[in-house]
Amino acid sequence: MTDFEQIYLQYSPQIFRVCMGYINDAEQARDLTQETFIAVWKNLSAFKHQSKISTWIFRIATNNCLRALQKSKKIRITELPYDLPAVAPEDTKEEQLAFLYQSIAALEETERIIISLVLEDLPQAEIAEIVGLSNVNVRVKIHRIKEKLAVKFKNHGQFE
C-alpha cells in the first residue's frame, strides 16, 4: 500500500464529515473530499512536514469548502425557528445526524470549520493552526458554538 493510499484511508471519512459540516449536501461533500485528495496526491511530494500531515490535509479541505461556498453564492444559511416541535422518540440516528448537519450549516463559516474539526477530535492547537486563530480564541469559540448547538437541540427536543 502506498503512502497516499494509507493517508486516504485514514483521513477521507473525517474530511467527508468536515465537508458535510460546511456544505450540508452529501453529493457536494463527496466531490469536495475527492478534490481535497486530488490536491493531496498532486502535492504530497512537496509536503515539507512543517506541520502535521493531518493539519495540512484539513487546511486543504477547509480551503476547498470555502471556495465552493464562494462560488455557489447560494449559501442556504437560515436560522432555525426556536419553536420547533419536540422530536418524537422514534427519531432515528440518521434524522438526528441530519439535524446536527442542518444546525452546523446554519452557523457562521468559521464556526462551521471549528465545530467540524472538533467533531473529528482534532486537538485545539491543531484547529487553531488550521483556522489561523489563537488557541485561546479557538477555545472560547468552541464553548460558544457548543452553547448555540445545545440551545438548538434543546429547542428541537433532543435534550430534556
What pLDDT is stored for residue 12 in this prediction? 94
Helix segments in the chain, DSSP class H: 3-23, 26-43, 53-72, 93-105, 109-119, 124-131, 135-155
Residue 5: CB atoms within 10 A of its CB come to 10
Q: How many domains does the chain have?
A: 1
Is there a domain that residue 39 lies in?
Answer: yes
Q: Residue 73's pLDDT band (boundaries 50, 70, 90)?
A: low
Contact present, 32 and 62 (Cβ < 8 Å): no
Lowest mean pLDDT among 28-32, 48-52, 91-95: 91-95
Contact present, 53 and 7 (Cβ < 8 Å): yes
**Mean pLDDT of the 104-118 span:** 87
Q: Which residue has the higher pLDDT, 136 or 89?
A: 136
Is there a domain that residue 160 lies in?
Answer: no
Residue 104: CB atoms within 10 A of its CB come to 21
What pLDDT is stored for residue 106 in this prediction? 86
What pLDDT is stored for residue 89 in this prediction? 46
Is there a domain that residue 124 lies in?
Answer: yes
Is there a domain that residue 118 lies in?
Answer: yes
pTM (predicted TM-score): 0.63
**Mean pLDDT of the 77-88 span:** 50
Between CA 4 and CA 13, with CA 9 as vertex, the angle to 5 degrees is: 130
* Backbone phi and psi for residue 136, each to the nearest 5 degrees, phi listed first: -65, -45
What pLDDT is stored for residue 35 in this prediction? 95
Is there a domain that residue 54 lies in?
Answer: yes
Q: Residue 158's pLDDT band (boundaries 50, 70, 90)?
A: low
Residue 112 has pLDDT above 70, yes or no: yes
Grid cell in block for residue 155:
429547542
**Mean pLDDT of the 47-63 span:** 88
Domain that holds residue 67: 3-75+84-155
Share of the chain above pLDDT 70, in %: 85
What pLDDT is stored for residue 159 in this prediction? 53
What pLDDT is stored for residue 103 in this prediction? 86
Which CATH number fits the domain that encloses residue 113?
A: 1.20.140
Average pLDDT, the chain: 83
Classified as helix, coil or strand, 89 is coil
**Mean pLDDT of the 105-112 span:** 86
